[in-house]
Amino acid sequence: MIPSNKYSLTVILFYSYFIYLVNSIELTFELQDKSKDCYYENIEKNTSTTLEYQVVTGGQYDVDVIIESPTKEILYRQVKSQFDSHTFVAPVSGPYAICFSNEFSTYSHKLVYMDLQVGEEEPLPGIGEQVTVMTQMESTSQDIHESLNKIIDYQTHHRLKEAKSRKRAEDLNHHVTLWSAAETVAILLVAIGQVFFLKRFFETKTPSQMQYRAMY
């Protein structure tokens, strides 16, 4: 996948692994406010491709998403979407653009997770090559392989949920801290004001001050 930033430089936090025997690309990147980032992947004709994405942190957790073919045909479009999964079959061969836009946001940047799987997963080496029925060991190996792929997928989603929850907790803690500081300042100001006014009530006035005030 070739990243391309039209308006700002993408800060890539991690660009992780390719799953064994399938072109699967996982990417988490920071999308700045008022910006649009596009990524390009060469896909052969009639190849099934699945895009899954989720906004992890930032603002209302929403972005605009577009998938565009080499012929400029819009295959997928979502406006202010938080998460989704879309599968399509490439109509032609060439570079396909996957664009994420945060142009509608004026101040909040987003952290976006994307998983792009191109093509179907091939069987394990040695499995499916023979005409005969798979042996018990081959069948068990295939089941274990599929289970491990599911575990990887579950772990990824749990990490995203954990990151999203942690960010919300940090934001809540920040707001509570600011509110507590404001309340503390308000209490101090009220206490100082009360002391000042109560002190005036108990001040003793000298005869010269009383006579001066009586004249006026």
pLDDT tens string 59-112: 888 899 999 999 999 999 999 998 889 999 999 999 999 999 999 988 888 889
Residue reference for tokens 């390009």: 40
Side chain identity at residue 41, one-letter code: E
| Averaged pLDDT of the chain | 78
For residue 207, the model assigns a pLDDT of 57
Higher pLDDT, residue 211 or 12: 211
Q: How far is CA 25 from the centre of its chain?
A: 17
Q: Name 81's bridge partners.
A: 63
Among 45-59, 102-116, 133-147, name the one with the lowest average pLDDT.
Answer: 133-147
Higher pLDDT, residue 105 or 4: 105
Tokens of 170: 């940090």
Residues of the chain above pLDDT 90, percent: 31
Q: 106: phi > 0 → left, psi -120 to 50 → alpha, else beta; which?
A: alpha
Residue 2, SS3? strand
Side chain identity at residue 24, one-letter code: S
Which of the four pLDDT bands, split at 50, 70 and 90, describes residue 133? low
Q: Which CATH class is domain 2-122?
A: mainly beta
Decide if pLDDT at 145 tops 50: yes
Distance (Å, whole) CA 160 – CA 185: 38
Distance (Å, whole) CA 43 – CA 96: 7
Using the CB atoms, write b or e for 92-114: b if 16+ within 10 Å: eeeebbbbbbbeebeeebbbbbb
For residue 97, the model assigns a pLDDT of 94
Going from N- to C-terminal start, the domains of the chain cover: 2-122, 170-205
Decide if pLDDT at 10 tops 50: no
Decide if pLDDT at 7 tops 70: no
Residues of the chain above pLDDT 70, percent: 76
The DSSP symbol for 23 reads: E
Which of the four pLDDT bands, split at 50, 70 and 90, describes residue 175? confident
Distance (Å, whole) CA 85 – CA 116: 10
The DSSP symbol for 110 reads: E
Q: Name 51's bridge partners.
A: 86, 116
